[in-house]
Amino acid sequence: MKVRMIIFSTILLLVTIGLLFAAHLCLWGLSLDLEIRPIEVLTLAVTIGVAVLVGYYFTNQVNDLRAEKDLLIDDIRTVLGVLKACRETLNSCYDSEKIGPKSKAIILTHFHRLINGIEEIEASLKISQCVNLSQEIVPIKNAYLSYKMAATGGSFPSKPYNRSSMSDQEQASRILNASLQSLVFAINKYH
Amino acid sequence: MAAHIGLCIAKEFSDTPGPRTREEGDFSGEQFLAEFLLPRYQEALSQGTHLAVDLDGTEGYATSFLEAAFGELARKYEPAEVLKVIVFKSDDEPYLIEEVTKYITEARKRR
């Protein structure tokens, strides 16, 4: 994008210089009027001033929005990381065919961090320029609850996970993962 | 209305709430319901006051525990009445209040 801008500006500058030079040499019927009129100088100054201010304002707007988006996306990435760790812990419990006290505490901590992370994203969305996207948190919370119910409902933690329970967990975690990723895409597209 | 009755799970029951039933292990939801939640709830009902349940300070709650305690309470009493009497506090995990409320309102659909 920057390279294109530089090329475009260079071409524009060269054409302008070329035209001025052609006018100076009176080529193609062109001529230069060297008389300076104050009103025209003032108009030019105002035009340049407005162009610079408008450009500056929009550049700042775009930069601010991008910075907010990056912060929000970082928060979602953190939650996605917790979700991955949670899934790994649940898988290792399934593989070892038991849920010991330590694993139980780790699983509950993962779910605690997951939901608190989701609520942090919601709070950040509400104070950001992407405030309209805060409604996207509702399906994410529903997916979280379905996942927690699949992983810590039933006979948790007294009986190990069975194949059916693992299948429910996998499905629920995929839905949660997909809804978090779709929020990332929505934030990126937001303008 | 009289001053509310309090119930702090971490201090009065356990900071490591356990499984669903007594047979499954210590500090179960069933035990919590029988020994703490139900008596306090009935006391609050008889006094016409609120029961303030403090959920903070534990290592976390499994769905099995919450469902066995609060879901079962909502199967014994009207869910709407349970939600009127019980006031939850959860600063560590604010969403837990919404979660428990869901177990209460949907308790009768589950069994």
Residue in B22, B91, B95, B100 to test binding to A, most A beta-carbons within 10 Å: B95
Contact B63 A109 (CB under 8 A): no
pLDDT confidence of residue B89 = 97
**Range A70-189 classified under CATH 1.25.40:** no
Shortest Cα distance from A150 to chain B (angstroms)? 9
What is the pTM assigned to this prediction? Answer: 0.83
pLDDT tens-place string over residues A92-119 = 999 999 999 999 999 999 999 999 999 9
pLDDT tens-place string over residues A28-52 = 888 877 788 889 899 999 999 999 9
Contact A180, A79 (CB under 8 A): yes
Q: Where are the domains of chain A?
A: 70-189
pLDDT confidence of residue A1 = 63
Q: Which of residues 26-65 of B touch A (CB under 8 A)?
A: 59-64
A100 touches chain B (CB under 8 A): no
pLDDT tens-place string over residues B55-104 = 999 999 999 999 999 999 999 999 999 999 999 999 999 999 999 999 99
| Cβ atoms within 10 Å of B46's Cβ, excluding its own | 8
Q: How distant is the alpha carbon of residue A12 from its chain centre?
A: 35
- Tell me which residue range forms the domain holding B53: 5-110
Shortest Cα distance from B49 to chain A (angstroms)? 31
| Cβ atoms within 10 Å of A97's Cβ, excluding its own | 10
For the record, the structure tokens of B89 come out as: 């506090």
A61 or B97, which is more confident?
B97
pLDDT confidence of residue B2 = 56
Alpha helix stretches (DSSP H) within chain B: 29-32, 38-47, 63-66, 72-76, 79-85, 95-105, 107-110
Please determine, for residue B51, whether its predicted confidence score (pLDDT) is greater than 80.
yes
Domain count along chain B: 1
Shortest Cα distance from A129 to chain B (angstroms)? 24
